[in-house]
């Protein structure tokens, strides 16, 4: 018999309802955490409050959680360095010049190429979604306007490449955060679990595929087709539309005396990306079980045993050191200013770090209440194991759409989906992938999502116009994903 019964589902349900009604994710998550510990303490409000606070403290008992939070803060510092050094502006300038030369050689024939380049840029800057969106929007907006490609199309490319790329390439804050959630569900090797789930993470793959097909085929439909026809007729915006500005999204602004240089962005980000697999091998080298194997086999063993949270923390620390030395040597930023930039950049990521603390805490609380196990018990009579992945995807989509946050959705749904799928005997990796993909899908469709809003800002598009034009493409990918989860759910059991 389940110890807490119906009460085990009350805290996450309350957190979901509050998040939907108030749009205050932090308050909602903490309320759920507090209510859960009050239930565990049999209604004792005082002990429940003390345990809720202790639950937040206990998130730092996990080395992986602490490393993930530190990584997120340091990514903010790296972003501040790159913005202040003129790296983003230099990258924008360099690519803009290349595109202008290309336009001179073959005028009017570069629409497909420019859109492909914009999508590729969004994918390559997978380290942080906001930087990806801001870079693509700022870089390509003048070119899109000149080639008479709608700003709605640019916002769609920004939005539908940044989040899918960030969740499919785990060497960033997204990957570290998800690995922390999986570690809370007692996965000894969360990186391996993440890779096993990623092959079933259909929505982000489909979203990227649809972006590619839309660009190559040039066959828009629905509101996007009307937007493209409007721009072709020489009308940049609809009457009554209000272009948004991206100025408030930047952590720091470029100093007027700094010369923009693309290498100030390419070298730090490139070094972080290259350092991550090396650090995975380094952290996993001690876990090699067959030291007599060939070098390729040893490397694969080390990669499988590596600590994802440690690897990303060491990689971003190395990238910060490289950026510090590079900017110091070339005189871009003085050492005295570095500490101020570090603190300013970290402060820009505090909201995300706080969300991580609450996410890890509500996951631990749901484990204590055995929420997922109870849901599996009460739904066993009507829900077959094959339906679990599709149900998880739909539920995650609804939560993310209503709250505007995929990360908050991950925090709630992974804590429920993992024990639920294990209790049903269904494929746990399918359930994890469904929770992740559903979170991104709902986030893409939501008008209150931060990435959706920032995509509108970066492309100077009307926000509602962006939501309307992107929605049909996202819906196609979401419906196909549900069908795939239904099919594989029954095949893989």
- More confidently predicted of 451 and 209: 209
Task: Say if residue 316's pLDDT is above 50.
Answer: yes
Among 188, 339, 362, 345, CA closest to 253: 345
Quick one: which of 170, 474, 201, 106 has its CA closest to 311? 170
Mean pLDDT over 181-188 rounds to: 83
Q: Which two tokens stand for residue 311?
A: 């690897």
- Other CB atoms within a 10 A radius of the CB of residue 186 amount to 10
Residue 416 burial by Cβ neighbours in a 10 Å radius (0-12, 13-18, 19+):
buried
Mean predicted lDDT score pLDDT of the chain: 82
Predicted confidence band of residue 255 (pLDDT cuts 50, 70, 90): low
Residue 295 has pLDDT above 80, yes or no: no
What is the number of structural domains in the chain? Answer: 1
335-363 exposure pattern, b = at least 16 Cβ within 10 A, e = fewer: eeebeebbeebbebbeebbbbbbbbbbbb
Average pLDDT of span 400-429: 82
Q: How far apart are CA 262 and CA 112, in angstroms?
A: 24
Query: Tokens representing 45?
Result: 């409000």
**CB within 8 Å of 330: residues ≥ 6 apart:** none
Q: Give the pLDDT confidence score for residue 385 in this predicted structure.
A: 78
Question: How far apart are alpha carbons 119 and 197 in whole angstroms?
Answer: 24
Condensed to tens digits (0 to 9), the pLDDT of residues 354-409 reads 877 887 788 788 878 877 677 767 766 666 778 889 999 998 888 888 666 787 78
221 burial via Cβ count (<10 Å: 0-12, 13-18, 19+): exposed
pLDDT at residue number 172: 73
Q: pLDDT value at position 1?
A: 44
17-63 per-position pLDDT tens digit? 887 677 677 788 899 899 999 999 998 999 999 999 999 999 898 88
176 or 59: which leads in pLDDT: 59
In the prediction, which pLDDT does 99 show? 66
Which has more pLDDT, 311 or 58? 58
Indicate if the pLDDT at residue 243 is higher than 70.
Answer: no
* 282, two tokens: 């380094």
Residue 469 structure tokens: 């034009």
Cα gap 312→314, rounded to integer Å: 6
Q: What is the pLDDT of residue 254?
A: 54
Residue 339 has pLDDT above 90, yes or no: no
Are the C-beta atoms of residues 96 and 142 closer than 8 Å to each other?
yes
CA angle centred on 424, ends 418 and 425, rounded to 5°: 85
Q: Would you say residue 10 has pLDDT above 90? A: no
Looking at residue 440, its pLDDT comes to: 93
Q: What angle do CA 438, 450, 117 make, to 5 degrees?
A: 85
Could you identify the residue written with the tokens 């469904």?
434
Other C-beta atoms within 10 Å of 226: how many?
A: 17
The pLDDT of residue 75: 80
Q: Say if residues 240 and 136 touch (Cβ distance below 8 Å).
A: no
pLDDT of residue 493: 62
Give me the percent of the chain exceeding a pLDDT of 70.
Answer: 87
* 399 closest CA partner among 407, 95, 119: 407
* pLDDT value, residue 125: 76
| 234 pLDDT more than 70 | yes
pLDDT at 253: 54
Tokens of 478: 């979401």
What's the CA gap between 56 and 67, in Å, rounded?
A: 15
What is the pLDDT at residue 133?
81
- Which pLDDT score, from 0 to 100, does residue 248 have? 45
- In this prediction, residue 247 carries a pLDDT of 47
- Reported pTM: 0.74
Can you tell me the mean pLDDT for 99-124? 75
Average pLDDT over residues 166-191: 81
- What pLDDT was estimated at residue 49? 94
149, 228 contact by CB (below 8 A): yes
Q: What is the 3-state secondary structure (H, E, C) of the chain?
A: CCCCHHHHHHHHHHHHHHHHHHCCHHHHHHHHHHHHHHHHCCCCHHHHHHHHHHHHHHHHHCHHHHHHHHHHHHHHHHHHHHHHHCHHHHHHHHHHHHHHHHHHHCCCCCHHHHHHHHHHHHHHCCCCHHHHHHHHHHHHHHHHHHCCCCHHHHHHHHHHHHHHHHHHCCCCHHHHHHHHHHHHCCCCCHHHHHHHHHCCCHHHHHHHHHHHHHHHHCCCCCHHHHHHHHHHCCCCCCCCCCCCCCHHHCCCCCCCCCCCCCHHHHHHHHHHHHHHHHHHHHHHHHHCCCCCCCHHHHHHHHHHHCCHHHHHHHHHHHHHHHHHHHHHHCCCCCHHHHHHHHHHHHHCCHHHHHHHHHHHHHHHHHHHHCHHHHHHHHHCCCCCHHHHHHHHHHHHHHHHHHHCCHHHHHHHHHHHHHHHHHHHCCCHHHHHHHHHHHHHHHHHHCCCCHHHHHHHHHCCCCHHHHHHHHHHHHHHHHHHHHHHHHHHHHHHC
Q: What is the pLDDT of residue 240?
A: 60
449-486 pLDDT, tens per residue? Answer: 777 877 887 788 887 788 889 999 999 999 999 999 99
Q: Is 27 in contact with 49 (CB distance < 8 Å)?
A: no
Structure tokens at 428: 């746990």
Enclosing domain of residue 296? 5-492
pLDDT value of position 210: 95
Residue 466 has a pLDDT of 85
């Amino acid at each position: 018999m389940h110890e807490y019964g119906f009460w085990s589902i009350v805290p996450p349900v309350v957190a979901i309802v509050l998040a939907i009604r108030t749009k205050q994710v932090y308050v909602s998550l903490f309320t759920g955490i507090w209510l859960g510990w009050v239930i565990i303490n049999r209604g004792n409000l005082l002990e429940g409050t003390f345990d809720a606070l202790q639950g937040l403290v206990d998130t730092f008992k996990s080395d992986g959680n602490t490393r993930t939070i530190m990584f997120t803060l340091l990514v903010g510092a790296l972003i501040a360095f790159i913005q202040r050094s003129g790296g983003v502006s230099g990258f924008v300038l360099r690519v803009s010049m290349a595109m202008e030369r290309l336009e001179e050689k073959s005028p009017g024939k570069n629409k497909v190429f420019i859109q492909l380049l914009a999508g590729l840029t969004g994918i390559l800057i997978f380290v942080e979604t906001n930087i990806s969106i801001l870079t693509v929007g700022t870089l390509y907006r003048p070119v899109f306007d000149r080639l008479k490609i709608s700003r709605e199309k640019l916002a769609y490319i920004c939005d539908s490449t940044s989040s899918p790329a960030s969740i499919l390439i785990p060497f960033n804050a997204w990957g570290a955060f998800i690995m922390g959630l999986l570690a809370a569900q007692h996965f000894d090797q969360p990186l391996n679990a993440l890779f096993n789930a990623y092959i079933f993470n259909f929505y982000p793959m489909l979203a990227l595929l649809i972006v590619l097909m839309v660009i190559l085929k040039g066959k828009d439909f629905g509101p996007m087709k009307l937007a493209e026809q409007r721009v072709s007729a020489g009308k940049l915006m609809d009457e009554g539309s209000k272009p948004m500005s991206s100025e408030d999204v930047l952590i720091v602004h470029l100093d007027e005396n700094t010369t923009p240089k693309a290498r100030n962005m390419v070298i730090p980000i490139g070094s972080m990306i290259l350092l991550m697999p090396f650090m995975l091998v380094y952290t996993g080298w001690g876990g090699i079980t067959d030291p007599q194997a060939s070098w390729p086999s040893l490397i694969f063993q080390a990669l499988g045993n590596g600590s994802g949270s440690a690897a990303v923390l060491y990689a971003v620390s190395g990238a910060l050191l490289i950026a510090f030395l590079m900017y110091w040597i070339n005189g871009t930023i003085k050492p005295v200013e570095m500490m101020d930039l570090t603190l300013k950049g970290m402060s820009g990521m505090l909201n995300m770090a706080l969300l991580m603390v609450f996410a890890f805490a509500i996951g631990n609380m749901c484990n204590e209440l055995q929420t997922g196990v109870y849901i599996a018990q009460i739904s066993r009579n009507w829900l077959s194991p094959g339906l679990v992945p599709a149900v998880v995807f739909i539920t995650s989509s609804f939560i993310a759409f209503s709250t505007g946050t995929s990360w908050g959705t991950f925090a709630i749904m992974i804590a429920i989906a993992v024990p639920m799928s294990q209790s049903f005997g269904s494929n746990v990796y399918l359930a994890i992938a469904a929770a992740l993909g559903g979170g991104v899908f709902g986030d893409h469709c939501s008008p209150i999502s931060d990435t959706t809003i920032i995509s509108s800002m970066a492309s100077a598009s009307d926000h509602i116009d962006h939501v309307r034009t992107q929605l049909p493409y996202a819906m196609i990918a979401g419906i196909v994903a549900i069908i795939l989860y239904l099919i594989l759910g029954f095949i893989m059991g």
